[in-house]
Structure 1
Amino acid sequence: MFINKISHYLPSEVIGNEYFTKLNNLSSDWIIARTGIHERRRTSEGENTSTMAVDAVEILLKDAPYSKNEIDLIVGATYTPYDTIVTLAHAVQHALQIPDIPVVSVSSACSSLLNAIEVVQGYFAMNKATKALVVVSDNNSAYNNETDTVSGHLWGDGASAMLISKKRQSEQDIFIRDLKTGGAATHEKAMEAVVLRPNTRGVVMPYGRDVFIHACTYMPKVSQEVLQRCGLGIEDISYIIPHQANHRISLNIIGTMGIPEEKLISNIQELGNTGCAGCAIALSENRHRFKKGEKLIVTVFGGGYSYGAMLLEV
């Protein structure tokens, strides 16, 4: 599979740490020390998960390598849907007016990007599609409880979109060499460590330390597994994009793997935790940096203790 083009959309409203200083008496220095976050984006009135997704797609289709009418599969991913019946992917299909193609939305918390791409892989393998549109979008501010001093300051909003084809379309394509996902929900605290339930306002994170430990365990582990399956080592990697949950987690991951900090791509400082869109946004933001032949690892971890890694070659 090949990523033909990638884009991202960010709301214009910027929320600095001082907002949470006034609201919850949390100092900016404290937030930065614990999370790395300086500011985050928040949707404005009239924006939501679906509108951000459509905006990202509109940006994507400008100078796209092929017509939107060649898209024969749409896969959306979010854990913060605007509508739980009219899914994210169907909202995108409606906006694009591409009729009578498979349209699927998935949710595996912050790992949803890789699961969405894995769905594309399945459709391609079954010869049910050849050119797919993947859209990831999370509107955390619609669900977040800002007064929660544990996690209220973590979240940001944003979306990303990518065109993926079964066969190479141009020399600018990014080759998806390998992809692996999994679930570690068998762990004792996985069902309660971080949750977002309709009858409970906002994200509840009573076992943040347990999330930290397992994120720092599974992201390096699955990344190493993907590298080994491709006969590669850490020295072959030019960049790593871990799930943008906490900068301390990212630093722990590269420390465990022996990757120098200059190879770490991070956007949590300016965007906060943008959920399953975070890694895709980072990939889009930095696309211009990547040179032919370079290899990247994208690795994720989410609620329910979902995880995964993807190896890309430019």
Structure 2
Amino acid sequence: MSVIRSAVTGVGSYLPEQVVTNEELSKTVDTSDEWIIERTGIRQRHKARDDEPTSDLATEAARRALADAGRTAADVDMIIVATTTPDMTFPATASIVQRKLGAPVCIAFDVQAVCSGFVYALSVADGFVARGLSKCALVIGAEEMTRLMDWTDRTTCVLFGDGAGAVVVEPREGQGTSADQGILGFALRSDGTKTDLLYVDGGPATTGTVGHLRMAGNQVFRHAVVNIAEAITGACAAAGITVPEVDWFVPHQANQRIIKGVGDRLGLDEHKVISTVAMHANTSAASIPLALDTAIRDGRIRRGDLVLLEAMGGGLTWGACAFRL
């Protein structure tokens, strides 16, 4: 029996021009290149210009994804932007991206699940596309995390950067098996009792300010390794696959130690794990599509490969997705 799957048909990403290396950061923050690399694996991050809002990054990533899919803005009928650093409280950054792309009247809204945002947004797009409610959806993860940094807190400000990644999602006919091209299964989770482990200490309804990012790093690390592994198992079960069948693992690029810890817990071969955190640090909802685009561009991930995504962020939220490219 044939079924309609939502498939990733194009991928694109964008990083701001300004690069801030660990050595440059050590001139203004009490840290060092050695300290950052040893604890995180990060070597540099990108920083948006003052006049370069999140929507600019998202729009450029979207243009590149559309070109990769052989589509134009005129084809787009839905835009979902996963971001925790929107241009404004409202309208949604997705609506601003729609205008900048020159896309026609369509569905456009934001998803806020912090670092898990891209996986959450992809699941929403899947619900529209697989049910015939969208024919060409843009799913974008875009963040300017440097806007949220307390530059006197060396435990957090060295971890984050700015960037955007996007995918085009379109319907594809399949046979209802794990051999189909398209999204095969999800597992999404949230535990609101852990909000104090990773949060921003501001907001329009509380302080009336943007606030700064605060994190209990050791506790987040511990929850990440255990929770992510469980969600991955759940996503694989929903997809009808096992972890050893996966060709490529594209995790949220938060910290090299977390990436390795999850890979080891799952028994994944190191060569199957895509890691780009060294080059752009933690870009929150943008990190997965950034890493995915990198691995497709350099020829590692190819059409037909079985790919596993995962992320964990403030909320705490976490989740995983299995799809065949």
* TM-score (structure 2 length as normaliser): 0.89
Q: Which amino acid in the other structure matches residue 166 of structure 1?
A: P
Q: Distance in 2 between matches of 1:204 and 1:291?
A: 38
Alpha-carbon contact 2:17-2:47 (below 8 Å) kept: yes
Q: Distance in 2 between matches of 1:230 and 1:191?
A: 30
> 1:136 maps to what in 2?
141
**Gaps in structure 1 of 5+ consecutive residues:** none
Cα distance, 1:71 vs structure 2? 1.6
Q: Distance in 2 between matches of 1:313 and 1:126?
A: 18
2:212 to 202, 206, 214: 202
1:282 aligns with 2:291: yes
Q: Distance in 2 between matches of 1:280 and 1:294?
A: 16
> 2:248 maps to what in 1?
239
Q: Distance in 2 between matches of 1:211 and 1:242?
A: 16
> 2:238 maps to what in 1?
229
1:84 aligns with 2:89: yes
Cα distance, 1:184 vs structure 2? 2.0
* Aligned-pair Cα RMSD in Å: 1.9
Deviations 1:275-310 (A, max 9, x none): 110011100111132234321110010101101111
Deviations 1:221-251 (A, max 9, x none): 1111222233322221121111111110011
Alpha-carbon contact 1:2-1:168 (below 8 Å) kept: no
Cα distance, 1:165 vs structure 2? 0.8
> 1:313 maps to what in 2?
324
After superposing the two structures, state which structure 1 stretch, 1-10 or 282-291, moved more: 282-291
1:151 to 150, 156, 179: 156
Aligned-pair identity in percent equals: 29
Q: How many residues align?
A: 307
> 1:180 maps to what in 2?
187
Q: Distance in 2 between matches of 1:117 and 1:64?
A: 17
Alpha-carbon contact 1:144-1:203 (below 8 Å) kept: yes
1:294 aligns with 2:305: yes
Q: Distance in 2 between matches of 1:290 and 1:232?
A: 18
Q: Distance in 1 between matches of 2:189 and 2:211?
A: 28
**Secondary structure of the corresponding residue to residue 110 of structure 1:** helix
Q: Which amino acid in the other structure matches residue 313 of structure 1?
A: R
1:40 aligns with 2:45: yes
Q: Which amino acid in the other structure matches residue 141 of structure 2?
A: V
Alpha-carbon contact 1:219-1:242 (below 8 Å) kept: no
Q: Distance in 1 between matches of 2:68 and 2:24?
A: 38
1:57 to 54, 59, 62: 62
Deviations 1:184-216 (A, max 9, x none): 224xxx1211111234742111x2211111111
> 1:112 maps to what in 2?
117
Q: Distance in 1 between matches of 2:302 and 2:165?
A: 21
Q: Distance in 2 between matches of 1:106 and 1:16?
A: 30
Q: Which amino acid in the other structure matches residue 35 of structure 2?
A: W
Alpha-carbon contact 2:29-2:152 (below 8 Å) kept: yes
Q: Which amino acid in the other structure matches residue 255 of structure 1?
A: D
Q: Distance in 2 between matches of 1:72 and 1:293?
A: 26
> 2:197 maps to what in 1?
193
CA distance 1:217–1:223, shift in 2 (3 Å): same
Deviations 1:94-149 (A, max 9, x none): 11223321111110110000111111122235543222111110011122122212
Q: Distance in 1 between matches of 2:303 and 2:77?
A: 28
Q: Distance in 2 between matches of 1:163 and 1:230?
A: 21
Q: Distance in 1 between matches of 2:143 and 2:261?
A: 25
**Secondary structure of the corresponding residue to residue 27 of structure 2:** helix
Q: Distance in 1 between matches of 2:91 and 2:135?
A: 25
Alpha-carbon contact 1:4-1:174 (below 8 Å) kept: no
2:279 to 270, 275, 278: 270
> 2:268 maps to what in 1?
259
Q: Distance in 2 between matches of 1:230 and 1:246?
A: 27
**Gaps in structure 2 of 5+ consecutive residues:** 1-5, 175-179, 204-208
Q: Which amino acid in the other structure matches residue 323 of structure 2?
A: L
Q: Distance in 2 between matches of 1:31 and 1:295?
A: 33
Alpha-carbon contact 1:194-1:204 (below 8 Å) kept: yes
> 1:29 maps to what in 2?
34
